[in-house]
């Protein structure tokens, strides 16, 4: 049981009285729905009420009703000192500014990766040949690769490499030797690349560069 001291001021003196509150006699503040709250006229700064629509306390400010919370938005958290997070010569000054500056950079770079190196037979001319780029990726990056060696940090072994589904990737050929290959195309649903060999390389060395991008 709690005791509250109530002090009442009079012009001629001070009257002090006390009251006890138990679980069945708690003091409260005015309640209102969001609609009722917004329709209140003549509210003064500092007045508060309990919003029954969202189950939260609101207080009145010079800009209207504000929800009472100790949460801070990223826009409200200032950096100790500004930093140019994205290299545009303008310093970011809040957490929100930094997030907005670096997100396009990190999200874009994190979605691009090179598939493993593979061998393609170009020893003889031929058309309509295929290689399953996606399967080559799974075979080397996946846990089924018996040649895969994982790093060990103390007693912790690195986890398996995350594997995307075939239809979660975009496939790109960024370069191919035009004296050796032609008619290159890639099935976006399966990752199967079709190509023709038009001229075997004299030293059996040639290049096709492939890039994967997560959708």
Per residue in 47-74, pLDDT tens?
999 999 999 899 999 999 999 877 777 8
Higher per-residue confidence, 121 vs 178 = 178
Measured CA to CA, the distance from residue 151 to residue 71 in angstroms comes to: 41
Supply the pLDDT for residue 117: 81
In the chain, % of residues over pLDDT 70: 87
Measured CA to CA, the distance from residue 211 to residue 204 in angstroms comes to: 23
Supply the pLDDT for residue 23: 58
Q: For the ranges 7-21, 55-69, 109-123, 143-157, which has the lowest average pLDDT?
A: 7-21
Measured CA to CA, the distance from residue 80 to residue 94 in angstroms comes to: 9
Indicate whether 143 pLDDT > 60. yes
Q: How is the chain split into domains, by residue range?
A: 2-67, 74-110, 113-146+161-214
Per residue in 157-202, pLDDT tens?
999 988 999 999 999 999 999 999 999 999 999 999 999 999 988 7
pTM: 0.55
Burial of 194 (C-beta count, 10 Å sphere; 0-12/13-18/19+): middle
> What's the mean pLDDT when you consider all of the chain?
85
Higher per-residue confidence, 21 vs 49 = 49
């Amino acid at each position: 049981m709690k005791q509250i001291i109530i002090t009442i001021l009079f012009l001629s003196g001070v009257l002090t009285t006390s009251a006890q509150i138990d679980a069945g006699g708690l003091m409260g503040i005015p309640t209102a729905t969001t609609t009722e709250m917004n329709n209140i006229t003549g509210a003064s700064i500092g007045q508060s009420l309990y919003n029954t629509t969202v189950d939260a306390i609101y207080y009145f400010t010079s800009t209207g009703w504000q929800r009472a919370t100790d949460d801070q938005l990223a826009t409200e958290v200032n950096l100790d000192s500004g930093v140019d997070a994205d290299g545009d010569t303008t310093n970011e000054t809040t957490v929100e500014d930094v997030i907005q500056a670096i997100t396009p950079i990190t999200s874009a770079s994190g979605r691009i990766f090179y598939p493993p190196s593979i061998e393609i037979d170009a020893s003889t001319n031929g058309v309509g040949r295929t290689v399953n780029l996606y399967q080559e990726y799974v075979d080397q990056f996946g846990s089924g690769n018996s040649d895969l060696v994982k790093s060990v940090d103390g007693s912790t072994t690195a986890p398996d490499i995350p594997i995307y589904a075939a239809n979660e990737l975009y496939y790109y050929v960024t370069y191919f030797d035009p004296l050796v290959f032609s008619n290159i195309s890639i099935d976006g649903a399966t990752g199967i690349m079709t190509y023709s060999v038009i001229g075997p390389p004299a030293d059996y060395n040639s290049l096709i560069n492939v890039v994967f991008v997560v959708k």
